[in-house]
Amino acid sequence: MKCIILLASPGAGKGTASDYIENKYNYKHISSGSLLRNEALKNKEIKSLIDNGKFVSDELVMDVLNKNIKKDNIILDGIPRNIKQAKLLDSLFEENNINLEKVIFIDIDREIAAKRVINRLTCEDCKKVYNKDLIDSKVCMICGGNLITREDDTKEVFEKRYDTYLKETKPLVDYYKDKLIRIYNDDTLESLYNNLDKEMR
């Protein structure tokens, strides 16, 4: 089994890049958010942590991940989120005979990332994300659901998340320096895809 880790700041387009690699290169996309939300459906402890906005411990995140890796190649998005998780992940890879192929770091200018997050519209139903500047419609082009601004897509929440990222997650760039590939996402979606293709070939 092979694994790609995606590292990125808030608003850098991690979800978009993961989806692209999942569909084109046949990796299973595992995001920390969806992993925990799915687990919460059958695990009361996690459900109560999430419902109360509490922190899910690094060990618990790894346990859940361990249960959800089988034989597919995977792309991890949002895990690891700090050095401690990275070390736990090293052991998990070893136990499961998983080869960490590469770590893709999506880099973006902080101001551009802030602007993207604040301009985001999200479909209430299918969760597809649009940019306010690029869409006239008030409904989703895919499913017809209402487009809304998510409560946490504000400048304040972004700045707070970005500071946490600098403190907790950015040090991983150095931790993984031997496997790291840096891709800039300051430009168009097409150029992001092109850059990913170059690294995936």
DSSP 133: G
Instruction: State the Cα–Cα distance between residues 195 and 190, nearest whole angstrom.
Output: 9
Q: CB nearer to Zn ion: give 126 or 135.
A: 126
Window 85-124: residues binding Zn ion (CB under 5 A) = 123
Q: CB nearer to Zn ion: give 108 or 123.
A: 123
Window 35-94: residues binding Zn ion (CB under 5 A) = none
Window 123-182: residues binding Zn ion (CB under 5 A) = 123, 125-126, 128, 140, 142-143, 145
Q: CB nearer to Zn ion: give 79 or 123.
A: 123
Nearest of 40, 32, 94, 37 to residue 58 by alpha carbon: 32
What Cα–Cα distance (Å) separates residue 101 from each residue in 57, 70, 85, 176?
A: 26, 17, 18, 11
* DSSP-derived 3-state class of residue 11: coil
Rounded to 10 degrees, the C-alpha dihedral 20/55/10/110 comes to: -160
The count of residues interacting with Zn ion (CB under 5 A) is 8
For the bound state, the minimum distance from the C-beta of residue 182 to Zn ion, rounded and expressed in Å, comes to 32
Q: CB nearer to Zn ion: give 126 or 148.
A: 126
Can you give the binding site for Zn ion, defined by CB under 5 A?
A: 123, 125-126, 128, 140, 142-143, 145
